[in-house]
Amino acid sequence: MIGRWTRGVLVAIGLWAGPAPAIAQDDLDVAPGTMSLQVTTDPSPIACRKLDTVNPRSLMFRSLRRTFNDDFDEHPLATGRWVPHYAGGAAWPEARYWGGDGSDLKRKTSANGEQQIYVDPRYAGRAATPLGLDPFKISDGVLSIVASRTPPELMPVLFNNEYISGILTTQGTFAQKHGYFEIRAKVPVGHAVWPAFWMLADDGGWPPEVDVLEGRGERPGDIAMTTHWRIPSTQKIHSCGFDFAVGDASTAFHNYGVLWDEDRLVYFIDRRPVSDIKVPIGFDDPMYMIVNLAIGSKFFPGVSQVNADTPSSVAFEIDRISVYQIDMEQAQR
């Protein structure tokens, strides 16, 4: 999700489209205190792969215990779990996330060509007092991050960004090394619409980056799941991931997750493994979560720049976000 397309060299090992496994919705709407996920254990000769077919003898279960859960029964900023902007960090100087001309308030990732600014009720932009803009709506236990066109009278105050939207991160409030990270959401569509659920290192460095879910707003039902890392000897950025077809992703809630095990990352749709990758170099620190709705991109296929076809308002609906730690003593073989 960060402006990776302009930093270093991207090695795309396999951005292939393909159907996700058959969807089973039973019991997926809850985040149990403990659960098990089926994962692969056989060595892979390539950096990452789609799990179209799996050798049954290579499967095992990972037992998990819940460490974080938000069902969004109240406003996300009322709990203290979430921060409505990037926090940045000392390890990567560019992690200041300039909010626009004259703003150093960590409110967008300009390198991506994003055309929104992330706001919250306390954000003032260029004004002397908070503007009271709230992109976070709660209804029946569902959080909606709403992106909408910037009111014309606020354009100068908001650094001439075309849209206002919202971001939530857990940097400084929750981070974890290894475990299972999951979002249950509807993925919005539309011209220039770019929803995401992703993870960064808690020390503020980049990469590593894990994109658990990215929606290509101009390609309904197309879900991208990608890993990014850096090769220390060359400083080049490498990426590997796949696209999956989830036909009703914009109208029905589905679970999108990643299991960060000691030796591999396994991506899941509705708790069924769909791809995996050997953990790349640099995944040493705990990671925190980010969920956001960006508008506009210069480099992410399926997300273009804002034009007349971009919806005036669009919502990223999130039922819950949950995290589990691996219980190695209870792992079932």
* Nearest C-alpha neighbor of 283 from the set 212, 202, 193: 202
pLDDT at residue number 25: 52
Q: Tell me, yes or no, if 262 is annotated catalytic.
A: no
- Exactly one of 114, 162, 182, 209 is catalytic; name it: 209
* Nearest C-alpha neighbor of 300 from the set 100, 99, 10: 10
β-pairing, 287-295 vs 167-169, is antiparallel
pLDDT at residue number 87: 73
What digits encode the pLDDT tens for the residues 225-254? 999 999 989 999 999 999 999 999 999 999
Q: Of the ranges 93-97, 156-160, 252-256, which is most confident?
A: 252-256
**Mean pLDDT rounded to a whole number for the chain:** 86
Q: Is pLDDT above 60 for 107?
A: yes
Q: Tell me, yes or no, if 153 is annotated catalytic.
A: no
pLDDT at residue number 303: 98
Q: Which two tokens stand for residue 213?
A: 């879910």
- Exactly one of 162, 182, 214, 317 is catalytic; name it: 214
- In this prediction, residue 46 has a pLDDT band, given cuts at 50, 70 and 90, of low
- CA angle at residue 59 from 56 to 64, to 5 degrees? 150
Distance between CA atoms of 231 and 330, rounded to whole angstroms?
35
Question: φ and ψ at 76, to 5 degrees?
Answer: -60, -25
Distance between CA atoms of 135 and 121, rounded to whole angstroms?
8
Q: Which domains does the chain have, with CATH numbers?
A: 34-326 (2.60.120.200)
- In this prediction, residue 16 has a pLDDT band, given cuts at 50, 70 and 90, of very low
- In this prediction, residue 59 has a pLDDT band, given cuts at 50, 70 and 90, of confident
Range 75-98 average pLDDT: 70
Helix (H) / strand (E) containing 198 = strand 193-201
What digits encode the pLDDT tens for the residues 277-320? 999 999 999 999 999 999 999 999 999 999 999 999 999 999 99
Q: Is pLDDT above 90 for 71?
A: yes
Q: Which two tokens stand for residue 12?
A: 């795309």
CB neighbours of residue 98 within 10 Å: 17
Query: Distance between the two ends of the chain, CA-based, in angstroms?
Result: 36
pLDDT at residue number 7: 34
pLDDT at residue number 44: 64
Q: Is pLDDT above 90 for 166?
A: yes
